[in-house]
Amino acid sequence: MRTDPVVLTVAFGYLALLFVIAAWGDRRAEQGRSVIGSPTVYALSIAVYCTAWTFYGSVGRAAEFGPSFLLIYLGPTLAMLMAPMLIRKMVRIASTQRITSIADFISARYGKSSSLGALVALIALIGITPYIALQLKAITLSHAVLVNYPQAAEFRLAEESFWTDKSFWVALVLAVFIILFGTRHLDASERHEGMVAAIAFESLVKLVAFLTVGVFVTFVLFNGPGDLFRQVADSPELVGALSLDAVPGGAIGWVGTLVLAFLAFLTLPRQFQVLVVENVDERHLRRASWLFPLYLVAINLFVIPIAMAGLLLPMGNGDPDSFVLTLPLSAGIEGIPLLVFIGGLSAATGMVIVETIALSTMVSNQLMMPLLLRSKRLHLSSQGELAGWLLGIRRVAIVLILLLGYLYHALIGDSYSLVTIGLVSFVGAAQFAPAMLIGMYWRGATRAGATLGLLAGFLTWCYTLLLPGFAQSGWLDAAFLEHGPLGLAWLRPYALFGLEGFDIYSHALLWSLLANVGLLVGVSLFTRQTPVEQTQAALFTEAMNPGLQHTSLWRGQTTRGELKSLLNRYLGAGTTARILSAPQGSQDDETPAPPALIARAEQALSGALGSASARVLINSVVRGEALDLESILSILDTTSQTLEYNRRLEQKSNELARIGEELRAANERLRELDRLKDEFVAMVSHELRTPLTSIRAFAEILRDNRELPEEKRVHFLEVVVLESQRLSRLIEEILDLARLESGRLTLNPQRLDLVALVRHSVDAVHRLQEDRGVSLAVDLELDEAPVIGDPDRLEQVIINLLDNAGKFAADDDPRVRLHLARHKQSFRLSVEDNGPGIAPDERERVFEKFHQVKRHGAASGKARGRPRGSGLGLPISRGIVAHLGGRLWVEDAPTLKGASLVMELPEAFDSHRPRI
């Protein structure tokens, strides 16, 4: 059963099954019934983290270094716990920016820089290719162990040439698989549904295979874990195998490996691919954040039993990396080793598939596209579609990456154990962490800082891990490991600056991250960001800000036609039509493209070509400032946003306070008006009743006493007539007042001469005043006083003033003086009397309705035959004067020492005459 044909049939049959599953997944996706739209499938696809290195290497590491293998999985557990915060933000950014890979992510964060993207892609290529080689090596090795057992595998390996090496053919089959299912869409930011389905299946296979062998070893080879550990406890050389002493670097190495695994889990290109790019729903992160760690526990559960069993049982083949295979083989079981081989194959192929897709996307989008866009020749011949080109580049890249991996595997061969290569790659990938993580939370990180930090970290990694690795493989003289280059001991790669006591990975991680973070932060503090960088930095750091969703970021101008030809050239006609088929707006090629359409076009290009190239292309057709930087920054600037919010809040509360004050005042005024209204009604009734009562009384006397003397009858009738006149005058006044207050008083303003009007009014009242014994003095300083006014109403005012003055003049020798004079740009007419005057606090009240100044000795006044006022004359007068733009007020009389009522009216200017 372990013959080559059977093993090969099973292995390639398994690969064929992967094709079927992937094809099924893709077809379901096309039908709209996605199979990967579940958090469980998502968690299983993340388990691509467990590679052949986990499958075979964990046992080896446990056998050699005790519990330190667990750190490789505790780190990701910590990372997944942060998924609802950290990874969710990454997913959000990637979906809004159409990010295709971690290189694209970092390039987009730092102003869509193509050079930074290329740097990341290069580092990934150099750092990850050995890791791919490691998977191929695992396939070759496991196949050799399976077929040759109990003969040691190494004997045969050296003799094989590549066409008999199974991993070469596996690599080729994988290349076909990846080309078929990894490059179906040009848009690399779209999900590879079939591929993810296959990966999730592979995760199940490797878990089942490992659990099977674990159960077999623990419960079949031994009588359960109790028996196993009792036997371990009995063998003195194994005591202490699982304590911290076995961990390289001790406590420091422990923490270093934990941090390393944490960072690498987030930054390995394949992890970024499945975690971020292939995520279909942010909500899946919640389930995955505990389900994936649970998967890790399950796959690690039997690592220690298998390792201990392997160390206990005397077997000819002592390589701990192969215990998973050799233990069941040693028991003479046939089926389980084959299952284990398939499990290892699934772990290796899963990793190779995802890693190759991620790397090929980086190579095509971050390395090749910027070069192609720069070359003149391509621009001239770019009238045709470039969509095919792009996919072609990606496919060639896939084949090249796999070949490179195979080459590395063939060349460096056996010098490294599985774990060693894996951890070297981890430290390489961890160099992306500062640029990515710091960039996501610190807006000030600049491109220069990120580039220099990455370069420094990468170089440190090369010096402290990669070169020593080459040296140990015999490619370089290993002497410099011992004594340092040129004999400089402080430059020894494994003890840089004399730092000893660390394991080599923690040591490399410490120095590389120190250089990386130090330069990133330090340089960022002293460099400035370009506008695009600022925008991108803001968009990344504030990705979870809900205000972002509704911002239109484009301000530049282009036409639909130009956009169309650009998209056609790069994405093909079908995609272009889909992007341009806007539900609204004109379809005419000459109309300007709306900002939303430009943004959509850039996103589509980003998904296919990477953000840096997309930006270059969009800028080639869009005129003017492409991004509305100000508005974005203003939206995103949380500080200013909060300040603005506070300011507005304060404004609002001030406004509220003011409105409240106004309301209170209005309420006060309304109450006052209500009170005045009540008073007014009472007054009016009272005023109307007085004349009515006397009319009625005299009329009744006349009716009841027919034999009244004629003289009395005439007198009574005269009183009735007078009182009726008074009544009608009162009613007239009330009506005037009502019109004044409601604003319905109709005035007939015209240019008139106040002097003439005064003379006319004086003539009208002169007789009456003389009858009352009032001596009236008229003092007109002017010959002419032009004003704008209604002559009838003004005359009414003047007569009213004179009449009032006559009433309040002194009882003995009552005198009234009218004086008209110019005062600045107006005329003042004052009417004074020699009465008792009005106290200052009473002066405004005389203008209240029905207010009557109490006279000392009113009775004698009545006796003098002066009629009582209605109390409405002055309010009406003031209203009329105010309507004409003048004023009316009370002051002390300058000459007669009584009260003086002053009316002021503005001078009317004649346009024909110059101003005086």
Partner 1 sequence: MNASGSHARLVALIGLAALLFSPPLVLVFDRPPAAGLSWLPFYLFVAWLLVIGLAAWLMEHRQEDS
- Could you list the residues that contact partner 1 (CB under 8 A)? 66-67, 70-71, 74, 77-78, 81-82, 84-85, 229-230, 232-233, 238-244, 251, 254-255, 258, 283, 286-287, 289-291, 293-294, 297, 301, 304
Is there a contact between 411 and 130 (Cβ–Cβ < 8 Å)?
no
User: 855 burial class (0-12, 13-18, 19+ CB within 10 angstroms)?
Assistant: middle
Is there a contact between 12 and 173 (Cβ–Cβ < 8 Å)?
yes
- Output the CA angle 99-111-183, nearest 5 degrees: 25
Nearer residue to partner 1 within complex by CB, 513 or 737: 513
Nearer residue to partner 1 within complex by CB, 283 or 652: 283
Cβ contacts of residue 139 below 8 Å, gap of 6+?
52, 166, 167, 170, 344, 345, 348
Nearer residue to partner 1 within complex by CB, 301 or 688: 301
Residue 365 has what DSSP assignment?
A: I
Q: For tokens 């550990």, what's the residue?
A: 229
What is the smallest separation between the CB atom of 245 and partner 1, expressed in angstroms? 8
Nearer residue to partner 1 within complex by CB, 82 or 599: 82
What is the smallest separation between the CB atom of 464 and partner 1, expressed in angstroms? 23
> At 822, is the secondary structure helix, strand, or coil?
strand
What is the smallest separation between the CB atom of 261 and partner 1, expressed in angstroms? 10
Q: For tokens 């089942």, what's the residue?
A: 208
> At 529, is the secondary structure helix, strand, or coil?
coil
3-state secondary structure 380-436: HCCCCCCHHHHHHHHHHHHHHHHHHHHHHHHHHHHHCCHHHHHHHHHHHHHCHHHHH
Residue 832 has what DSSP assignment?
A: E
The beta-carbon contacts of 544-547 under 8 Å, at least 24 apart in sequence, are 544/88, 544/89, 544/92, 545/635, 545/636, 545/638, 547/635, 547/636, 547/641
Nearer residue to partner 1 within complex by CB, 242 or 398: 242
Nearer residue to partner 1 within complex by CB, 131 or 505: 505
Nearer residue to partner 1 within complex by CB, 82 or 688: 82
Q: d(Cα 411, Cα 94) in Å, to the nearest integer?
A: 37
Nearest to 195 by CA among 365, 51, 355, 364: 355
Q: Within 13 Å of residue 808, how many CA atoms lie on the same side as its CB?
A: 27
Which amino acid does the sequence have at 590?
E
Nearer residue to partner 1 within complex by CB, 197 or 242: 242
Is there a contact between 76 and 288 (Cβ–Cβ < 8 Å)?
no
With residue 103 as reference, give the H or E element that holds it: helix 102-109
Is there a contact between 473 and 414 (Cβ–Cβ < 8 Å)?
no
Cβ contacts of residue 319 below 8 Å, gap of 6+?
60, 153, 326
Nearer residue to partner 1 within complex by CB, 83 or 108: 83
What is the smallest separation between the CB atom of 210 and partner 1, expressed in angstroms? 16
What is the smallest separation between the CB atom of 87 and partner 1, expressed in angstroms? 13
What is the smallest separation between the CB atom of 320 and partner 1, expressed in angstroms? 16
Q: Euclidean distance between the first and final Cα of the chain, in Å?
A: 128
Quote the distance between the C-alpha of residue 424 and its chain's center.
38
Question: What are the tokens at 675?
Answer: 């009170």
What is the smallest separation between the CB atom of 624 and partner 1, expressed in angstroms? 41
What is the smallest separation between the CB atom of 243 and partner 1, expressed in angstroms? 4
With residue 201 as reference, give the H or E element that holds it: helix 193-215
Quote the distance between the C-alpha of residue 839 and its chain's center.
69
Nearer residue to partner 1 within complex by CB, 57 or 572: 57
What is the smallest separation between the CB atom of 244 and partner 1, expressed in angstroms? 4
Is there a contact between 460 and 468 (Cβ–Cβ < 8 Å)?
no
What is the smallest separation between the CB atom of 82 and partner 1, expressed in angstroms? 6
Is there a contact between 831 and 802 (Cβ–Cβ < 8 Å)?
yes
Nearer residue to partner 1 within complex by CB, 149 or 502: 502
What is the smallest separation between the CB atom of 73 and partner 1, expressed in angstroms? 8
What is the smallest separation between the CB atom of 253 and partner 1, expressed in angstroms? 10
Q: d(Cα 9, Cα 11) in Å, to the nearest integer?
A: 6
What is the smallest separation between the CB atom of 310 and partner 1, expressed in angstroms? 15
Nearer residue to partner 1 within complex by CB, 246 or 599: 246
Q: d(Cα 604, Cα 124) in Å, to the nearest integer?
A: 25
Nearer residue to partner 1 within complex by CB, 290 or 494: 290
What is the smallest separation between the CB atom of 431 and partner 1, expressed in angstroms? 22
What is the smallest separation between the CB atom of 185 and partner 1, expressed in angstroms? 31
Nearer residue to partner 1 within complex by CB, 290 or 909: 290
Nearer residue to partner 1 within complex by CB, 81 or 777: 81
Residue 241 has what DSSP assignment?
A: T
With residue 649 as reference, give the H or E element that holds it: helix 638-704
Nearer residue to partner 1 within complex by CB, 50 or 563: 50
> At 776, is the secondary structure helix, strand, or coil?
strand
Which amino acid does the sequence have at 364?
S
What is the smallest separation between the CB atom of 301 and partner 1, expressed in angstroms? 8
With residue 833 as reference, give the H or E element that holds it: strand 826-833
